[in-house]
Amino acid sequence: MRKTLLSLGHGYTAQALARRLLPLGWTVIGTSRSAEQVATLEGPGVEMLLWPGSDLRDAVARASHVLVSMAPGAEGDPVLTGVPGLFEGAAPDWVGYLSTTVVYGDHQGGWVSEETPATPGNARGRQRVLAEEQWRATGLPVHIFRLAGIYGPGRGPFEKVRDGTARRVIKPGQVFSRAHVEDIAQVLEASMMQPRPGAIYNVCDDDPAPPQDVIALAAELLGLPLPPAVPIEDANLTPMGASFYSENKRVRNDRIKTELGVRLLYPTYREGLVGLLANPDPL
């Protein structure tokens, strides 16, 4: 089996996958828009290229597996639209596109699965659907991963609770699905070992939960006062924050378990927060 991963947008989630693959003898070729990150992440087994500006054709030719983490724009995926023909003649064994559960739109707290039609309710969701369609149209062995809200080392509620800026924004009935970054990484690795081109996987934990409950548990674990409760109409959310609260759904994750045999490391936010407090640095 060839073992070279081309990571287009070598960010938080892709780095977690790389940490799993490198000890197994893989080579990782990553791209970043940050020259500083290119210099920082370059190391044993990891080659970094600046995006845009680097010629990626050699990397594409070498890659046995491709992970796409770049956010789309109005025209769709920046790789396919920015470098037309980049994958012409390429024959990777596996391509993974990191999408998001925002493609399902609002379901008023109801459950969605991979069989639920994509009915995005905002521009961000429509761009993701367009990018998914563009990658599927390439004829490559594409797998779509629709990720819930990502958290993990360096991305959790503890710092805001510690510095006193955390709030429990209350919108009755609102829940969010979440995914620990290490669980996302193990799902990706499992798919790479068992390719099924055309597959769509929801990646989330087992417990869609109200956001205020997560903040409350973080404060309890830290032994700090419960952050104030603020009704959503008084929260003065940013446009991005408001867009998150405008959609309410529970996301099913059965397929990653039945098809890929994944057993979640952090099946709920409770195990996730306890783990983050005990091990705040990347595994």
Is the distance from CB of 64 to CB of 43 less than 8 angstroms? no
Predicted confidence band of residue 232 (pLDDT cuts 50, 70, 90)? very high
**pLDDT 10s digits, 248-264:** 999 999 999 999 999 99
CATH of domain 71-278: 3.40.50.720
Identify whether the C-beta of residue 166 lies closer than 8 Å to the C-beta of residue 213: no
Domain extents in the chain? 71-278
DSSP-assigned states of every residue in 2-22:
--EEEEES--HHHHHHHHHHG
Secondary structure class of 3 (helix, strand, coil): coil
Q: Mean per-residue pLDDT for 36-49? A: 95
Amino acid of residue 128: R
pLDDT in tens, 114-125: 999 999 999 999
DSSP letter assigned to residue 244 = H
Residue 53 confidence class, pLDDT cut points 50, 70, 90? confident
Half-sphere exposure in the Cβ direction for 144 (13 Å, CA): 22
Query: Number of helices and strands (H, E) in the chain?
Result: 11, 13
Q: Give the CA dihedral 39, 276, 157, 147, nearest 10 degrees.
A: 70
Q: Of 1-5, 121-125, 275-279, where does mean pLDDT reach its minimum? A: 1-5
The SS3 of residue 203 is strand
To 5 degrees, how large is the angle CA 261–CA 70–CA 93?
A: 50
> Which tokens sit at 261?
């045999």
pTM greater than 0.85:
yes
Q: Encode pLDDT of 81-138 as tens digits.
A: 999 999 999 999 999 999 999 999 999 999 999 999 999 999 999 999 999 999 999 9
Separation CA 278–CA 37 (nearest Å): 27
State the sign of the Cα–Cα–Cα–Cα dihedral 40, 44, 46, 52: positive
Q: What is the pLDDT of residue 182?
A: 97
How far out from the chain centre does Cα 34 lie? 19
Q: pLDDT-derived band of residue 283, with 50, 70 and 90 as boundaries?
A: low
Phi, psi of 133 (to 5 degrees): -65, -40
> Residue 228: phi, psi to the nearest 5?
-65, 145
What does the CA dihedral 270, 102, 248, 157 come to, rounded to 10 degrees? 30
Which pLDDT score is estimated for 32?
A: 97
Q: Residue 281: is its pLDDT beyond 80?
A: no
What values do phi and psi take at 201, rounded to 5? -130, 130
What is the predicted pLDDT for the residue at 240? 87
